[in-house]
């Protein structure tokens, strides 16, 4: 299976779909969310983005559906190009699909020996391998610290720099062996997952793309339109939460001349929704999911 959808019904409910509205699924993947959205539409339209060309294979054959093989950070431009603004709802199910993780050749997984790639978009040049072999010590330290939330980021970065002076770092196993001495004895798997996550975020510029997406969502949504976002780690969720609350990423609520808060969204979910026990039992990859829904004011 390409990807087992997460919080599917909750997302569709959160979208509060208008049958003749314009909707965007900015993370198409296996297309399960898109399929459900289409079922709710009559004369509406659905646009779907995915930067991974593999997702194209799941394209829906329906004249109301348009697939755009691009990063969602160009959302506004593409929607304008299609003459499809403003929109009624935007769905983002962030991160990577199971298809991407389970394909050994993509280099996302700590489980397989593979070249260190980790690009969601195969057209881009930057890979995990080029980062490890060319970034300065301090840049590497920042990535491991900020994106992996690793306490020993400096030591990991030093091991990488010393290691690559001996031999170019090419593969997942070679990399794991190099930094393995930093892994806490009983938490090796978690440690490697955090390191790989940090590299993946850097390769795909995930946080910068998410910021662009959120800002452009606000610009192209109709008043009363819905923003629905599933995030999978705290760095993403913090950006989504702050932006919904305040319209900026710092979470600082601006007030107008009279002291009234300048709200841009009405939060529909006060607290993020998470998968229930039944979903968790069926799909362990849903365990870190957090869903937030907001309506443009």
Kindly tell me which residue out of 14, 44, 89, 95 binds ligand SAM, with binding defined by CB under 6 A. 95
> Per-residue contact track with ligand SAM, 190 to 219, x per CB under 6 A?
-------------------x----------
Least distance in angstroms from the C-beta of 50 to ligand SAM: 5
Within residues 26-55, the interface with ligand SAM by CB under 6 A covers: 27, 29-33, 49-52, 55
DSSP string over 215-237: HHHHHHEEEEEEEEEEE-SHHHH
Residues in the interface with ligand SAM (CB under 6 A) total 21
Q: In the complex, what is the shortest distance from the CB of residue 21 to ligand SAM, in angstroms, rounded to a whole number?
A: 19
Question: Considering beta carbons, is residue 153 or 217 the nearer one to ligand SAM?
Answer: 217
Contacts of 114 by beta carbon, 8 Å cutoff, 6+ apart: 104, 105, 106, 107, 171, 172
Interface residue with ligand SAM among 24, 41, 48, 120 (CB under 6 A) is 120
- Nearer CB in complex with ligand SAM: 71/194: 71
Strand ranges (E), 84-238: 87-93, 221-231
**Contacting ligand SAM within 3-22 (CB under 6 A):** 3, 5
Shortest reach from residue 283's CB to ligand SAM, in Å: 11
Neighbours of 171 (CB within 10 A): 15
**Residue 87 and residue 196: Cα distance in Å, rounded?**
35
Look up residue 255 and give its DSSP letter: B
CB of 195 to ligand SAM, least distance (A): 20
Binding test (CB under 6 A) with ligand SAM, winner from 97, 127, 194, 286: 97
Asked if 251 contacts 245 with a C-beta cutoff of 8 angstroms, the reply is yes
Residue 45 contacts residue 23 (beta carbons within 8 Å): yes
Please count the other Cβ atoms lying within 10 Å of the Cβ belonging to residue 13: 14
93 binding ligand SAM? (CB under 6 A) = yes
Stretch (H or E) spanning 8: helix 8-15
Is 33 or 129 the residue whose CB approaches ligand SAM more closely?
A: 33
Q: Which of 45, 71, 109, 217 binds ligand SAM (CB under 6 A)?
A: 71
Question: Where in the chain does DSSP place strands (E)?
Answer: 22-25, 45-49, 65-68, 87-93, 221-231, 265-267, 290-296
Which parts of this chain interact with ligand SAM (CB under 6 A)?
A: 3, 5, 27, 29-33, 49-52, 55, 71-72, 93, 95-97, 120, 209
């Amino acid at each position: 299976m390409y990807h087992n959808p997460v919080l599917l019904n909750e997302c569709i409910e959160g979208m509060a779909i208008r049958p003749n509205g314009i909707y965007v699924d900015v993370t198409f993947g296996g297309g399960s969310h898109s399929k459900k959205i289409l079922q709710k539409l009559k004369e509406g339209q659905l646009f779907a983005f995915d930067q991974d060309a593999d997702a194209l294979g799941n394209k829906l054959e329906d004249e109301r559906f348009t697939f755009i093989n691009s990063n969602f950070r160009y959302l506004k431009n593409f929607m304008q190009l299609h003459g499809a603004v403003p929109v009624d709802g935007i769905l983002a199910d962030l991160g990577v699909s199971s298809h991407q993780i389970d394909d050994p050749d993509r280099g996302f997984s700590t489980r397989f020996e593979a070249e260190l790639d980790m690009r969601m978009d195969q057209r881009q040049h930057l890979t995990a391998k080029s980062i490890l072999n060319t970034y300065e010590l301090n840049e590497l330290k920042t990535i491991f610290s900020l994106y992996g939330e690793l306490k020993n980021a400096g030591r990991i970065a030093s091991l990488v720099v010393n290691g690559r002076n001996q031999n170019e770092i090419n593969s997942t196993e070679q990399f794991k062996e190099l930094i393995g001495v930093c892994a806490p004895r009983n938490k090796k798997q978690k440690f490697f997952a955090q390191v790989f996550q940090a590299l993946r975020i850097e390769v795909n510029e995930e946080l910068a793309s998410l910021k662009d997406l959120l800002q452009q969502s606000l610009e192209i949504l109709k008043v009363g339109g819905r923003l629905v976002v599933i995030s999978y780690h705290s760095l993403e969720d913090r950006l989504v939460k702050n932006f919904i609350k305040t319209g900026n990423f710092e979470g600082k609520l601006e007030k107008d001349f009279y002291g009234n808060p300048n709200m841009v969204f009405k939060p529909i979910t006060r607290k993020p929704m998470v998968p229930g026990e039944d979903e968790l039992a069926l799909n362990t990859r849903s365990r870190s999911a957090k869903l937030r829904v907001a309506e443009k004011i």
